[in-house]
Amino acid sequence: MTVDEIRTTLLGVASNHDSRDNGLISSSLKTLKEDAVGRNDQPAAKDIWCLETTLAVQNKYLAAFAELRAGKFYEGWCSLERVEINLQHLSVHLPYLANEYQLGFIDSHSRKFQSLFPYKIFMSPEILEIEKVCTICRQVVFIRRSCGHRVGEIYNGEMAAREVTKWTIVGTAMVEHPVQKYSVPFLQDPQTHQQVDHYDYSTVRYAVHALASPFDGWDVQWTKIRHPHSRFPGVGRNDPCPCESGMKYKKCCLPESGVLRPHCQFSFDVPPPLGTPTFEYAGRNPLPPHAPSKFITNLVRSS
């Protein structure tokens, strides 16, 4: 494939993603980049890197949609995180990001999907970096001695970064806004020692199954509404109010028309498939009754 043919294919991702040959595109880009590097044509090599990264963004977004459809929610979350990271790298070199290759759509809708996930707290390892090397020249770099390759710039069709080759973990923290979002804490069954996914994905599940295509536009707004008292039959008058105010039920929402709970309102550019139910988010506690108390976490090193 030529560069122009690849551009045309990437521009048409919304309509051709089921039929395009990603292997052919990847191998063609590799050959084109090798040729550009051989001619020392740095602008051409950089342009091909942008196309490679664009392909990676599109493929990861499509993978995330398929994973969410299949109920593989954590895997879909990790794919969306990869989309976010690649878009950050690409935005420095592709200033028309929002107008080409559906990247603006992918960016905004990946964030919308992320906003539906129940993950709120993450594990953040504290790492002492002992040695770092440049990914371009493989030289060890120091604070006062750089190899000359600027992090984030493209050299011979590859992005310069710093790879930590020697390190040690000195601690772990629970944070709300991690540097990377892979490290989601999960419960562990104390008897089987197996990971237990205790999160409620009903909101994500509803959204992804209401969409016929990953490129159908949609939006979501979060508010609070009164949920009928009949939804909380097990809550006694003297129990904590289900609205999580900290007050007793009888002194908080019980005298009202309902319990004040989170509610999300979806809007879809394309009507959902027939039979898609009306959905109301109940705002359940992410920890089920009698859940095991030990946490484990997935620590995935981004590449």
Domain residue spans of the chain: 3-116, 122-176, 200-285
End-to-end CA distance of the chain: 27
Q: Edge-to-edge, what's the strand order for the sheet holding 195-196?
A: 195-196, 185-188, 294-297
For the chain, how many residues are written?
A: 303
Each residue's pLDDT, cut to its tens digit, for the chain (303 residues) gives 999 999 999 999 999 999 999 999 999 999 999 999 999 999 999 999 999 999 999 999 999 999 999 999 999 999 999 999 999 999 888 765 556 899 999 999 999 999 999 998 888 888 888 999 999 999 999 888 889 999 999 999 999 999 999 999 888 888 888 888 889 998 888 888 888 888 989 889 999 999 999 999 999 988 888 888 988 888 999 999 998 899 999 999 999 999 998 888 888 999 888 777 665 544 444 333 333 333 333 333 333
Reduce the DSSP state of residue 272 to 3 states and report it. coil
pTM of the full structure: 0.83
Task: Pinpoint the alpha helices (H) of the chain.
Answer: 3-11, 13-16, 22-38, 42-69, 73-91, 103-116, 202-209
Distance CA 103, CA 63 (A): 15
